[in-house]
Amino acid sequence: MPYTPILATLGYVLSPDQSRVLMIHRNARQDDLHLGKYNGLGGKLEASEDVVAGMRREIREEAGIECLDLNLRGTINWPGFGKNGEDWFGFLFLITQFAGMPFERNAEGTLEWVSRDDIPKLPLWDGDRHFLPLVFDADPRPFHGVMPYREQRMLSWTFSRV
């Protein structure tokens, strides 16, 4: 059977001084798989868009800002991650320049500027602690990882860079 994951984007917006990251605290919906966790911004790709257009649209919808400079930092294959065990495949971006003023909140929760040093102290998905250092590091090579989940728990993590 062919592998048909849900394709998605996940972006991390840096403040103008590069010291903070715009994160969403998923605290708005009780039925949210991510309830209580902090995450980057993003979502599912639409059939008519490429990954950059999808990332720009998601940031515009979720934060009310326009991405001016985006860098693809990596990809992650998340088999079994979804609420009902769906497979996801994500394109992860670092947004280093933007225009506009971010929303204070959206339908998913509260938007917060978080110090890069404080991110590991936040309630995150277990797997985020493995890949976030790669999103923010100085290595110019994108990473490509596989992070299987079962029942909302990370099973393993492998990645490569070329």
Domains of the chain (ranges, CATH numbers): 6-161 (3.90.79.10)
Classify residue 30 by burial, with Cβ atoms within 10 Å: 0-12, 13-18, 19+.
Answer: exposed
Using left for φ > 0, alpha for ψ between -120 and 50, and beta otherwise, residue 122 falls in beta
pLDDT > 70 in the chain, percent: 100
Residue 115: both structure tokens together? 């110090």
pLDDT in tens, 3-61: 999 999 999 999 999 999 999 999 998 887 788 999 999 999 999 999 999 999 999 99
Give the per-residue pLDDT at 1: 83
Rounded Cα distance between 65 and 116, Å, is 20
Check if the beta carbon of residue 53 is closer than 8 Å to that of residue 85. no
